[in-house]
Every structure is written in structure tokens, then in C-alpha cells.
Chains A and B, each alone.
Chain A
Amino acid sequence: MYSDKVMDHFRNPRNVGEIDNADGIGEVGNPVCGDIMKIFLKIDNNIITDAKFKTFGCGAAIASSSMATELVRGKTLEEAWEVSNKAVAEALEGLPPIKMHCSVLAEEGIHKAINDYRVKKGFEPWTEKNLHSHEQEDMTCQH
């Protein structure tokens, strides 16, 4: 059911772990729904120099976390903010429809970590401009 890319990132997840004194941390999901992602970002001069994650969830959730952290590494915060759930899913060569919410969670995790950093630095948090997650409404755990 999963693409080779998903299985690769599931078997050999990139960037697993925590960052001590991370500049931004974003935790999203809910154990009731069976998915929790915690994203850790190291940020220097507006650039994400390191990204790590810890995830409780299915194969797609682990692979999405792995891919999302890969995609944002080395990017500016503005560029990282633009990494959409679709980009994560496409980089994984697709996710089954019922698993698309895992990529949404990864995007939300990155956003939350970026905003955590912005708030800590005294900036206004950025607001979610696209409402893509609502497209997934019936695929999203309502808890």
C-alpha cells in the first residue's frame, strides 16, 4: 500500500531525535487519533540549520515526519513555511488517501515550530493562509 519512498523513510527515518535547546518546537496531533509529531528546529540567521523529529504514529506518519524535516533543512523560515503537505506527500511519491492527514500533520508541525520560534523572539506568529487541512476534513481525526 505504501510507495518505495515511504517505506524507505519508514525503515530508515532521517533526523530522528531531539535537539537540545531547540530554537523552535512544534507538537501536533493527538494520541487519541493515533498520531503525534514533535518537530525540533535549530535556527541561525533565519535559516533552519537542523531539524529533528519524534513521532508516535503509523508508517505514513513516520515517513512524513522524516521527509518534512529533510525538506525544511537549509531553508529560510519563509521558504520552510511554504513547504506544503502536498509537497511532503509528493516527495514521498504519494500517500494513500486515508493517510494524507499524516502529511498535513507534518506541515502543521513545521508551522508550529516556526511560530514557536517567532513568538519566543517577540515576533507575531504567522497565520495559516491556505485551508488545505479542511479539504481533508473527513480524513482527519475529530478528537
Chain B
Amino acid sequence: MGAQRTIYLDHAATTFVKPEVLEAMIPYFTKYFGNPSSIYGIARDSKHAIDVARVQAAKALGADPDEIYFTSGGSESDNWAIKGIALANRKRGNHIITTRIEHHAVLHTCQFLEKEGFEVTYLPVDQYGLVNPEDLEKAITDRTILISVMYANNEIGTIEPIAELGAIARKHKVYFHTDAVQAIGTIPIDVKSQNIDLLSLSAHKFYGPKGIGALYIRKGVRIENLIHGGGQERRRRAGTENLAGIVGLGKAIEMATADIPGHNAKIRSMRDRLVKGVMEKIPHTRLNGHPEMRLPGNFNMSFEYIEGESMLLWLDEEGICASTGSACTSGSLEPSHVLLATGLPVEISHGSLRLSLGDANTEEDVDFVLEVLPSVVKKLRDMSPLYQKSGKEGGCNVQ
């Protein structure tokens, strides 16, 4: 039963590659394929293309080009930032501060370092997913060497007070890393005024290709290498450059940051219509994340009495690509650590739905979801033993 069309509402997972980006990349597969480390003509063209992309990335962040290091993506950037700082600064201290809602690329790296003798503080968040700057300041000790707080959360879209947290880190002379994978292209970033020492980004979240990312490292930051080998990336990250990927990242970040307010306004208005429509049409529903301090394309709602994976399967039948915080799609049996950290009850976390809007979407997509979703929720509630149709409140009858 194939769906007639695909409605892509999972831009937080990955995005399509914009035609302009792909067009910019193609010559670097076929014509200018030379190894940038070689000295002949086509290699010089390759090297030049990397320099251009580095400038494009630096400009988008308010950084200097020689503070940009290309990596294989967000996970490598997070691993490098955290392990690299930990290893290079272990004589100064062994304490790292992060939050409970980070991406697993940060959380699992921190857990790995705990096994290696580092101590990690996982800051709590409030019901909206916000980190309290006072909690951060209180957690800092004279052994703290790194603070890592994501710019915006991938599941609930909450935007953290990064400039404020960065100022606290700077005041205490602790390195400050932010995983900005979800933020590029939707939040104006200026690493200098926001006191960011390290920043991770990944091209496939802003209409660039997969397999390419970058780590911004402020000049003077003491950091160990993660990938050892050749002298690429100014001896900091070995491996022959992903040339076409780097070109694509440069073009994509330039396009994504050209008109952030205009881009956000269009997407936010579709998202807001979706949230409002769902709230009106479906009872026993709640919005997860912060009402205002959130990514413009992020929709995360919980529908009581039903489970997320069965919702996704029905939406897929209609051609709608979505995501959930339920355990059942994560390969584990625990629901989203992010939703749990906001204090959402476990059973309600299982019934969460994330739709992330982006440039693939139109107003017709919003209309279609508003038409389909209420009947999907109703169908599943009708077969749920938790749903009491008779009771006015329809309360969850199980502890």
C-alpha cells in the first residue's frame, strides 16, 4: 500500500541536499579530484576549494578561518572536543560538566571518560528543557576543565541560553563547548561574543551532504588530536580531506545563514499552525519543550494513552516521515532521556511525536498532517486499554 506522496517531517534527523550544493560538489568528484596534499595543478584547485569552504564556515560562525577544522560530522566533532580537551588538560583537572539532555555523541563520550577516571556532572533541566545558569555556576570546581552544553536540543527543540552559559565558563576560565548541530541556519551564532571555545556542526542538518562536519576550536585552546596520521587540517585531524563534502558544507552553510530571519519566519508559521491545529483537534495532548525558546521547525507533542511507534507506522502508511521519543524505535526499552529529563512521566513519553519542519515543507503538508493525525490518534486510542472514553478527564488509570 504505497503512499502517493512523501511528506518529509524529519529535518532534525537529516535534510535533503539543496541542488545548488550538489552542483557545487560535483566537479570535485570528477574534475578537481586531486589530493589537496599534492602539488600539481588539479590538487591546487582542490586545496583552494577547501580554503574557500573554510572561509564560508568561519564567516557563518564569526570565527577566523584557521579556527575551523573539518571532520566526518557531528559525532566526530563532539568526540574530538570532549576527549581532546580532557586528555590535553588532565593535569589541570578531571571534572567535566554537561547536561542530561545532550545528544548521545556527547553523553556516551562523557560516560567513556568516566570509566577513564574523569568525573562528570550532568546538569538537570527544567520542565521546558532549559539549563539554569546558576546550576552551572554552582557545579564549577577548581578541577573543572570543560563545560559542554548543546545549543538547541534535537528532540524538543529547546534553545539553551548559550551566551549566558558561555560568559560563566569564561569567568571561571573553563573551556566551553557547544554541540550546535541543530542550531546552524536557525540561530545566529557568533562564537566570539557568545564566549564559545569549541563548537560542533554537521552539514547534513542544513541541506548539505552527510559524512562531513566541522569543529570550531578557538585559537589558543589546548586540545589533543583524536585522529592521528597525516598532516591534514594543520596537523590536527589526519585523513585525506572529504573534498566534495567540504565544498558542499561550505556552500550549504553560506546558504543556510544568508537569511536566517526570513527562513525562520516561514517555517515557524507552518509549525505554529500545526501545533495550534493539533491542540484544537486532539484532546489529551501536550507540547513538549519551551513554548518560545525553541527551534522554529520543531514540533514535539505527547498524545496520552497511545504509543509512539504505532503512530509512526500509521503516519508512514500516509507517506508522513516522523520520529518519536518512544523506546520502541530506539533499540532500547527506555523512552527518550530528554523527555524524561524534563520530568515527563514515562508512560506519556512513550506517546511522543516529533515533527521537524524545514525547506521540504509547504502549507499543504500542514493541512495534510492536520487531516491525518487526528484519525491516527483516534484509531490507536480506540484500541488502547488506557483510554477511558466515558470519563470526562479520561485520566490515565494506571499508576
Contacts and interface: CB of A to CB of B under 8 A. Distances in A.
A56 B333 contact: no
Nearest to B381: A56
Given A36-B398, A98-B331, A56 B313 contact: no
B328 A54 contact: no
A11 interface: yes
Interface of B: 1, 305-310, 313, 317, 326-328, 331, 333, 335, 346-347, 350, 382-386, 396, 398
B307 A57 contact: yes
Interface string A35-47: 1111000000000
9 contacts: A27-B385, A31-B396, A34-B350, A55-B383, A56-B306, A56-B384, A59-B328, A98-B331, A98-B333
Interface residues of A, number: 32
B387 to A, nearest CB: 8
B317 A56 contact: no
A32 B326 CA distance: 11
A13 B380 CA distance: 11
A33 B1 CA distance: 31
A34 B333 contact: yes
Chain A CB count within 10 A is highest, among B309, B326, B385, B386, for: B385
A86 B333 CA distance: 20
A13 B382 CA distance: 12
A31 B383 contact: no
A48 to B, nearest CB: 20
A36 B309 contact: no
Contacts of A141: 333
Nearest to A57: B307
Contacts of B384: 36, 54-56
Contact of A36 (B326, B327, B382, B385): B385
